[in-house]
Amino acid sequence: GQNIDQPTEMTATEGAIVQINCTYQTSGFNGLFWYQQHAGEAPTFLSYNVLDGLEEKGRFSSFLSRSKGYSYLLLKELQMKDSASYLCAVIHDYKLSFGAGTTVTVRA
């Protein structure tokens, strides 16, 4: 079966940095996505990693180590609007499987 683990909840202060870790064990690997999902809304695409290393996109960065089955999403200069669920998802075969999601709460 597929196993994608990430922490359930994280809390941080406005302006701070938060790192959300994701470990995976899947049958095959063709890339890893991070999505943001606000309550009551559809997931929105944040990043995609297929090679090892860091991908930076504004305040958000994502890192991948395929040998370790590990990724993280780094959120910098946190804003209140960043309070949301962050989903780690792995493409294996042709399908996208999701972790349970990490709820990030940003406090003033």
Partner 1 sequence: SAVISQKPSRDICQRGTSLTIQCQVDSQVTMMFWYRQQPGQSLTLIATANQGSEATYESGFVIDKFPISRPNLTFSTLTVSNMSPEDSSIYLCSGRGQGRYNEQFFGPGTRLTVL
Contact segment (CB under 8 A) with partner 1 among 11-19, 56-64, 71-79, 93-101 equals: 93-101
Query: Residue 47: which of 23, 72, 15 has the closest Cα?
Result: 72
Cβ atoms < 10 Å from Cβ of 34:
26
Contacting residue, 18, 22, 64, 87, with partner 1 by CB under 8 A: 87
Residue 99 found at the interface with partner 1 (CB under 8 A): yes
Contacting residue, 24, 26, 33, 75, with partner 1 by CB under 8 A: 33
Residue 57 found at the interface with partner 1 (CB under 8 A): no
Amino acid in the structure at residue 82:
D
Element (DSSP H or E) covering residue 21: strand 18-25
